[in-house]
């Protein structure tokens, strides 16, 4: 099973490589995939070294599914890295307060299960499908935008109270949103973020982070780190 | 939106009620729902007081979806409670080691995204559908059992190295499995757990926990705690 290998890689190889041989992480992915970018963003926020291994994404229906499933796994990987390397770079968690960690967990869950389902479909329809020469389904876009609007109304309220979603510092709860938001800023869905002042400010702040800009610069930070 | 209310309840009411008025938690759910039982198990492991509010589960297709979606949310609630009340009762997290927390996170992800999809469908087909007078789909059972077998082979290997999934103590990663496993022990799927010695031992251990037995005793620990 594919994930078995991934888990054992996570738990055995990574630890061994990073701690004993100090070779850095190996990232298997594709610089256009939202999950790969999510993991890259964390490595770059932490200032960790890594090598990239490009995995071809297959087109068609199966692709969608593996794309979505990879997205889920990326959040386990980001949390893994954030915990193991909690002492270096951007903290990304808020380990000094168990109460804030509790709230952070809830917002990571909201991103994964309320924001992502709609945002991922919008990214897929408007940003990924055109790459594969597939046609955008306007009905799907309309329906998912309507749902995303309701989610963003909650965000607007939350961001009126705190600078970031979980607390007043940037955490994984914010970072996990970046890959979809970045794609959606290049689509008409952009207006959903711009129409809401607090959300707009938050989007500008998080997409402007140095590590994120590096994660998006795939020539340099993906293909430039390619394993021989 | 339903989850908006839930989140604001989580973040505002719970905190206020528990800390300022010391009234305990209010659990909205149904004692037959796996998600409700997951949350109850955590409250009982922590020795926290709560009141129960029975929410009717609707039958039919929509039910399945809301049932699954509730399941996802229950894991955010359990983590929330485990963090906020980390100092009391069973720890459930492993906050003294960031590395173990990293691994715990990965195993919670495996339960939610590798174990639960198959186990939930098997529970639904064999244990829940009969309650509503619906017919079990044998093809669905066969397919999901085949997938669950592969997952349990990984568990068997893991449990040969550690007493529990994340480490040598019982954590949320184990607890999250309980509601589905308990239902499946009453179905022919039981043999999948019994065929694997390490898994069987683990299942006996976790289903035998006092707090879990209380969570399953719904006369006493659900209807007996009903809010007036």
The CATH number covering residue B154 comes to 1.20.1050.10
- Give the mean model confidence (pLDDT) for residues B160-165: 98
Mean pLDDT to the nearest integer, B88-99: 95
Band (pLDDT 50/70/90 cuts) for residue B172 is very high
CB burial of residue B187 (10 Å; 0-12, 13-18, 19+):
middle
Q: Round the average pLDDT of chain A to a whole number and report it.
A: 87
Q: Is residue B20 domain-resident?
A: yes
Q: How far is A67 from chain B (nearest CA, A)?
A: 14
Specify the pLDDT at position B62: 38
Are the beta carbons of A76 and B105 separated by less than 8 Å? yes
Q: What is the pLDDT of residues B56-92, one digit of tens each?
A: 765 544 355 454 455 578 999 999 999 999 999 999 9
Query: Which pLDDT belongs to residue A23?
Result: 54
A11 touches chain B (CB under 8 A): yes
Rounded Cα distance, A164 and A203, in Å: 10
Q: Are residues A198 and A175 in the same domain?
A: yes
Q: Where would I find the beta strands (DSSP E) of B5-121?
A: 25-29, 50-54
Q: Which of residues 89-108 of A touch B (CB under 8 A)?
A: 95, 98-99, 101-103, 105-106
For residue A19, what pLDDT band results from cuts at 50, 70 and 90? very low
B87 lies in some domain: yes
Specify which residues A28 forms β-bridges with.
A53
Q: Say whether A114 and B3 touch across the interface (CB within 8 A).
A: yes
Q: Is A116 domain-assigned?
A: yes
Does residue B21 carry a pLDDT above 50? no
Q: Under an 8 A CB cutoff, do A7 and B110 touch?
A: yes
Residue A156 lies inside a defined structural domain of this protein:
yes
Backbone angles phi, psi at A209, to 5 degrees: -65, 140
Q: Is residue A227 part of a domain?
A: no
All residues of chain B having their beta carbon less than 8 Å from the beta carbon of residue A75 are 109
Specify if B228 maps to a domain: no
Between strands A25-29 and A50-54, the pairing is parallel
**Cβ of A3 and B98 within 8 Å?**
no
> What does each C-alpha distance from B110 to A4, A7, A17, A69, B175 come to in angstroms?
10, 9, 23, 12, 13
Task: Please report the pLDDT score of residue B83 as a whole number.
Answer: 95
Task: Give phi and psi for B143, each to the nearest 5.
Answer: -65, -45
Q: Are residues A67 and A122 in the same domain?
A: no
Least CB–CB distance from A101: residue in B83, B110, B114: B83
Same domain, A109 and A171: yes
Residue of A nearest to B94 (CA): A83
User: With 70 as the cut, is the pLDDT of residue A64 above it?
Assistant: no
Same domain, B57 and B106: no
Q: What is the spatial distance between Cα B176 and Cα B178, in angstroms, rounded to a whole number? A: 6
What is the mean pLDDT of the segment spanning A195-221? 97
Question: Are A119 and A187 contained in the same domain?
Answer: yes
What's the confidence (pLDDT) of residue A159? 98
Distance of CA A110 to CAs A103, A158, A205, B27, Å?
Answer: 11, 12, 20, 19
SS3 B25: strand
Same domain, B104 and B204: yes
Do the Cβ atoms of A154 and B103 come within 8 Å? no
Percent of chain A with pLDDT over 90: 71
Q: Based on the domain organization, do B19 and B87 belong to the same domain?
A: yes
The answer to whether A27 and A37 have CB atoms below 8 angstroms apart is no
Chain A contact present for B147, CB below 8 A: no
The answer to whether the CB atoms of A154 and B4 lie below 8 A apart is yes
Q: Which of A8-17, B164-173, B176-185, B204-213 has the lowest mean pLDDT?
A: A8-17
| Residue among B53, B47, B46 at smallest CA distance from B79 | B46
pLDDT (0 to 100) of residue A11: 60
Determine which helix (DSSP H) or strand (DSSP E) holds A25, and give its type and residue range: strand A25-29
Q: What is the CA radius of gyration of chain A?
A: 17
A124 and A70 share one domain: no
Q: What is the pLDDT, as a whole number, of residue A133? A: 93
Contacts of B151 in chain A (CB under 8 A): 1
B227 in any annotated domain: no
- pLDDT level of residue A26 (50, 70, 90 thresholds): confident
Contacts of A76 in chain B (CB under 8 A): 105-106, 109-110
Residue B1: its chain A contacts at CB < 8 A?
A: 150-151, 154
Give the model confidence (pLDDT) of B110-130 as tens digits.
999 899 999 999 999 999 899
Determine which helix (DSSP H) or strand (DSSP E) holds A50, and give its type and residue range.
Answer: strand A50-54
Q: A123 and A160 share a domain? A: yes
pLDDT per residue as tens digits for the range A102-118: 999 999 999 998 999 99
Which residue, B157, B161, B118, B162, is CA-closest to B141? B118
Do residues A54 and A111 both lie within one domain? no
Domain assignment present for residue A45? The answer is yes
Parallel, antiparallel, or unpaired: how do β-strands A50-54 and B25-29 relate? Answer: unpaired
**Residue B106 belongs to what domain range?**
98-209
Closest CA in chain B for residue A112: B72
Element (H, E) at A184: helix A178-184
Q: Using one digit for the tens of pLDDT, what is the confidence trace for B194-218?
A: 999 999 999 999 999 999 999 999 9
pLDDT value, residue A181: 98
Instruction: Supply the pTM of this predicted model.
Output: 0.82
Residue B227 above 50 pLDDT?
Answer: yes
> How many Å lie between the alpha carbon of B133 and the closest alpha carbon of chain A?
30
The number of folded domains in chain B is 2
Question: Is A105 within 8 Å of B79 when comparing Cβ atoms?
Answer: yes
Please give the full DSSP string across B122-189, using - where no structure is assigned.
HHIIIIIGGGGTPPP-HHHHHHHHHHHHHHHHHHHHHTTT-SSSSSSS-BHHHHTTHHHHHHHTTSTT
Same domain, A134 and A189: yes
Place of tokens 């909650």: A154
B76 close to A (CB below 8 A): yes
pLDDT at A12 over 70: no
Is residue B191 scored above 70 in pLDDT?
yes
The CATH number that applies at residue A73 is 3.40.30.10
Q: Are residues A102 and A205 located together in one domain of the fold?
A: yes
Question: Given a cut of 90, is residue B148 above it in pLDDT?
Answer: yes
Per-residue pLDDT at A17 exceeds 60 = no
């Amino acid at each position: 099973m594919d994930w078995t290998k991934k888990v054992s890689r996570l738990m055995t190889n990574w630890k061994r490589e990073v701690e004993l041989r100090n070779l850095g992480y190996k990232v298997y992915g594709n610089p256009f995939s939202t999950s790969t970018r999510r993991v890259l963003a964390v490595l770059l926020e932490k200032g960790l070294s890594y090598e990239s291994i490009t995995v071809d994404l297959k087109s068609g229906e199966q692709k969608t599914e593996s794309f979505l499933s990879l997205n889920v796994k990326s959040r386990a990987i980001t949390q893994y890295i954030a915990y193991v390397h909690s002492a270096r770079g951007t903290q990304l968690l808020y380990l000094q307060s168990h109460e804030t960690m509790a709230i952070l967990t809830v917002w990571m869950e909201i991103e994964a299960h309320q924001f992502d389902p709609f945002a991922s479909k919008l990214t897929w329809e408007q940003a990924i499908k055109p790459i594969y020469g597939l046609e955008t389904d306007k009905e799907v876009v309309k329906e998912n935008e309507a749902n995303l609007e309701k989610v963003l109304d909650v965000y607007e309220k939350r961001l009126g109270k705190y600078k970031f979603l979980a607390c007043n510092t940037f955490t994984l709860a914010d970072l996990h949103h970046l890959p979809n938001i970045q794609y959606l800023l290049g689509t008409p869905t952009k207006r959903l973020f711009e129409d809401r002042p607090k959300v707009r400010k938050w989007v500008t702040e998080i997409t402007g982070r140095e590590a994120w800009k590096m994660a998006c610069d795939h020539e340099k930070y993906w293909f430039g780190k390619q394993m021989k």
